[in-house]
Chains A and B, each alone.
Chain A
Amino acid sequence: MSFMEEAFKLAEEALENNEVPVGCVFVHNGKIISSGRNETNLIKDPTAHAEMVAIRKMRREIPDLKQILQESELYVTLEPCIMCAAGLFELGIKKIVYPAKNPRFGGIESVGSAEKYRVENVKTEIIYDSKYNDRSIGLLKDFYDRENPFCPLDKRKIK
């Protein structure tokens, strides 16, 4: 199963749990070293996005995490938000792969960018993998139950 498929499995798990359906895996030397899905409602933490969840797991488990992350790739089912993207650029992660843009708060290119965050010497490779675009948007549509998957968060139902 591809790394993006693994990320989608987590996004679907998020959807089943009434969370924003986004999932991700971190890959180092061809192996998944951490994974996460959105759990903002579960732990009432608005920063518990898939990427942050995965990084926080590694913080406990991997001692030289900064170095490892600079050699790692992130596969995530939606463009990371400004918060996550700024963090990933600061860490200097090797590569970020995502299949759908987020026009409301996408932090890689849609709204934010490394330049806007004043992060210098960014070497992160960005891959936009449109093959999974429909699947990503479809999940979000299922979640928001509306035509526009990027409707404001404050208008969504919070359980």
Chain B
Amino acid sequence: MKRSGDEKLENLDDQEPEAKKSKENEKSGKFGPEMRIIPIIDKNLFQETVMLTKCYVIAIQNRKITGELLRILPEIPSELHHLRRVDNKSSRILLHPEEKAKDDPALWSKLKNLGVQKEHVELIDIPAVRPLTRLQFDWAKEKWATSYPRNPELEATINGTLFSDQEKDQIRKWSDRVEQKGCIIVQNDTAIASSSSQPDVVLGHSAIETVQELAKMEREDGSYLATDCDVFVDKEPCGMCAMALVHARAKRVFFNKPAKNGVLKEGPWQLHLEPSLNHHYAVFHLDKTENKNFEEKFVCC
């Protein structure tokens, strides 16, 4: 009897080998199935090129007159302040953007005195905006000498090297914990405030409730609100919660599941990318295989 029963169970297992195996694989990983940390940044930062605009430039025939030229040339308009006046590599100097009148007689008489001829002037493509990344900078500087704001953190975010293995493990840990909790504010890998959603309470969403919890905390280290804190939320925050986290000065926001009324995921409007706000936090989607089937069914709560 006993033996035949065992056989029956084994047979049942054989009928669903795939499902069973994948479950076992999940258990075998240190923190369960795979999790991708997806930064949600301005799409333009992934572009490899920048917009171009046309500008008149002078090919410098005699380097000794460069200083003189710099003195008499009209100022570069502020929207092109990312450009260097002189492109040393090509020995050329910026004259003015295309739309400005080319023939300024007073300027030309000065230029002629320095030996500049009209045939030394060319209309070329130059970077219209400041490059934002190393990749864009390397492309743009081939067109014209350009400055760009060095931002190692942004470069690491784009290259996927922002987090060490240890940090990834910590993120995974809080991501799993917040599934039960709703929202957890973490400072130095320690939870300092948390709240579940309170469906019976009007506007009792977990993130805005957690900010209120944080406000009640005595902070011995003198830290101000959620400055230097990571905020973990199970569901992508709605407009109210996302803005509450701006008011709280959160440093980074991690969410597990995109929400129907979420305002951080890629879409027509992303709150953390809104330029008029006075504080901007970084946002990451923690994409776990087990959540794949539920995309966008959730609401922030």
Interface residues of A (CB under 8 A from B): 43-48, 52, 55, 58-59, 65-66, 69, 81-87, 89-91, 103-105, 107, 111-112, 116-119, 152-154
**B238 and A117 contacting across the interface, CB-CB below 8 Å:** yes
**How near does chain B come to A100, taking the closest CB pair, in angstroms?**
16
C-alpha spacing A86/B259, complex, angstroms:
15
Residues of A within 8 A of B246 (CB): 82-83
Roughly how many angstroms separate A118 CA and B242 CA in the complex, as a whole number? 13
Interface centre among A52, A81, A117, by most chain B C-beta atoms within 10 angstroms, is A117
**Contact residue among B242, B244, B249 (Cβ-Cβ distance under 8 Å from A47):** B244
Contact at A46–B202, with CB atoms within 8 Å?
Answer: no
C-alpha spacing A33/B267, complex, angstroms: 38
Name the prevailing secondary structure of the B interface residues.
loop
Question: Whole-angstrom distance between the alpha carbons of A4 and B230 in the complex?
Answer: 40
Q: In the complex where A45-B212, A47-B247, A111-B274 touch, is A91 in contact with B239 (Cβ < 8 A)?
A: no
Number of interface residues of B (CB under 8 A): 33
CB of B194, distance to nearest CB on chain A (Å):
16
Which of the 9-residue segments B55-63, B145-153, B275-283 touches chain A? Answer: B275-283
A152 to B262, CA, bound (A): 25
Could you pull out 8 A-B pairs where Cβ atoms are within 8 angstroms? A46-B248, A55-B203, A58-B202, A82-B271, A83-B239, A111-B274, A118-B261, A152-B278
Instruction: State how many angstroms separate the Cβ of B258 from the closest Cβ of chain A.
Output: 11
On whether A59 and B248 interact (CB within 8 A), knowing A103-B276, A104-B278, the answer reads: no
**B123, CB-defined interface residue at 8 Å:** no
Contact pick for B243, options A48, A58, A82, A153, CB 8 Å: A82
B244: A residues at CB distance < 8 A: 46-47, 83
Chain B 177-200 residues near chain A, CB threshold 8 A: none
On chain A, the residues within 8 Å of B202 by CB distance are: 55, 58-59, 65-66, 69, 91
Query: Which residues of chain A come closer than 8 Å to B240, judged between CB atoms?
Result: 82-84, 86-87, 90, 117
Interfacial chain A residues near B212, Cβ < 8 Å: 45, 47
Check: B9 CB closer than 8 A to any chain A CB: no
B279 contacts A87, C-beta separation under 8 Å: no
Once bound together, how far apart are the Cα atoms of A107 and B276, in whole Å?
12
Tell me whether B215 is interfacial, beta carbon within 8 Å.
yes
| Nearest CB of chain B from residue A80's CB, rounded to whole Å | 10
Q: Chain B's nearest CB lies how many Å from the CB of A157?
A: 14
Name the residue of chain B whose CB is nearest to the CB of A155: B278
